[in-house]
Amino acid sequence: MYVESITKPHQIHTMNLQSQLDHYLTQWDIKQSTKRGYNPFALGIYLERAADLASDVAQGATISDAIDAHFNDRIAAMLHKKFS
């Protein structure tokens, strides 16, 4: 059993677009939560927009166009940087 497990090729699981967006936006929200004027409902809004963005990409939009359609300002710049 041990020999069998080390001889099998390792599989690398990459995150899909929705998971990547959720991760980046959650990290963004954590950073924002320490700032004055933080909106405790923002993460839910971000995740809804992320689902819309992923849907647009699945329908053929480019990631850049989808980011621009659903986000703006610094959060859009952060997402453009992450996906460039």
3-state secondary structure of 83: coil
**pTM of the complete model:** 0.80
Condensed to tens digits (0 to 9), the pLDDT of residues 57-69 reads 999 999 999 999 9
Condensed to tens digits (0 to 9), the pLDDT of residues 5-58 reads 455 554 444 569 999 999 999 999 999 999 999 999 999 999 999 999 999 999
Q: How far apart are CA 75 and CA 81, in angstroms?
A: 10
Q: How far apart are CA 3 and CA 16, in angstroms?
A: 31
Burial class of residue 71 in the structure, from the number of CB atoms within 10 Å of its CB (0-12 exposed, 13-18 middle, 19+ buried): buried
Q: Which two tokens stand for residue 62?
A: 């480019």
Q: What is the pLDDT of residue 60?
A: 93
Q: How far is CA 78 from CA 64, 67, 68, 81, in A?
A: 12, 10, 12, 5
